[in-house]
Structure 1
Amino acid sequence: MNRKLTQVLRAQPSTDGAGVAIQRVAGFEQRGMDPILMIDELRSEHREDFAAGFPPHPHRGMQTLTYMKHGGIIHEDSQGNRGEIRGGGAQYMSAGRGIIHSEMPTQDTLGLHGFQLWFNLPAAEKMQAPRYRDLPLGELTQGAGPGFTVTAISGEWNVSGMQSMVGPLQELAAQAALADFNLDAAAELTLETGSGESVMAYVYNGSVDADAVNHSRRQLLLFGEGEQLTLKGGSTGAGLLVLRGRPIGEKVVHYGPFVMNTEAEIEQAIRDYQSGQFAA
Structure 2
Amino acid sequence: MNTPPTSFQGRRIEQQVQGQATRDGDGVKLTRVLTQAHQRRLDPFLMLDNFGSDDPKDYGGGFPDHPHRGFETVTYMIAGRMRHKDSAGHEGLLQNGGVQWMTAGRGVVHSEMPEQEDGVMEGFQLWLNLPSHDKMCKPGYQDIQTENIPEFSTHDGIKVRVIAGQSHGIRGAVQRPIAEFPTDALYLDIHFENDASFQQALPTQHNAFLFVYRGSVNVISPGEKSPVALHRMAILRNEGEGVEIQAAAGSKVLLIAGQPLNEPIAQYGPFVMNTRDELIQAVDDFRAGLYNS
- TM-score normalised per structure 2: 0.90
Aligned position for 1:196: 205
- The CA deviation at 1:215 is 1.4
Aligned position for 1:147: 157
| Secondary structure of residue in 2 paired with 1:67 | strand
Matched ranges for 1:77-92 at <5 A: 77-92=86-101
Separation of aligned partners in 1, 2:162 and 2:81? 20
Gaps of 5+ in 1: 159-163
Indicate the RMSD between aligned Cα atoms, in angstroms.
Answer: 1.4
**Corresponding residue to 1:37 among 46, 52, 64:** 46
Q: Is the 8 A contact 1:27 1:36 kept in 2?
A: no
Amino acid at match of 1:122: P
Matched ranges for 1:1-280 at <5 A: 1-30=9-38, 31-107=40-116, 110-145=119-154, 146-158=156-168, 164-171=169-176, 174-184=183-193, 186-210=195-219, 211-224=224-237, 225-234=239-248, 237-280=250-293
- The CA deviation at 1:187 is 1.2
- Once the two structures are superposed, residues 37-69 of structure 1 have per-residue CA deviations (whole angstroms, 9 ceiling, x without a partner) of 111001001111000000000000010010001
Q: 1:123 to 1:28 in 2, by over 3 A?
A: farther
- Aligned residues between the structures: 274
| Secondary structure of residue in 1 paired with 2:256 | strand
Separation of aligned partners in 1, 2:68 and 2:118? 26
Separation of aligned partners in 1, 2:56 and 2:182? 34
Amino acid at match of 1:227: E
| Secondary structure of residue in 1 paired with 2:136 | coil
Q: Is the 8 A contact 2:196 2:246 kept in 1?
A: yes
Amino acid at match of 1:209: N
Q: Is the 8 A contact 1:27 1:33 kept in 2?
A: no
- TM-score normalised per structure 1: 0.94
Greater Cα shift, 52-61 or 189-198: 189-198
Separation of aligned partners in 2, 1:37 and 1:237? 29
Identity %: 35
Gaps of 5+ in 2: 1-8
Separation of aligned partners in 1, 2:193 and 2:97? 19
| Secondary structure of residue in 2 paired with 1:175 | coil
Separation of aligned partners in 1, 2:272 and 2:240? 29
Amino acid at match of 1:150: V
Separation of aligned partners in 1, 2:272 and 2:118? 31
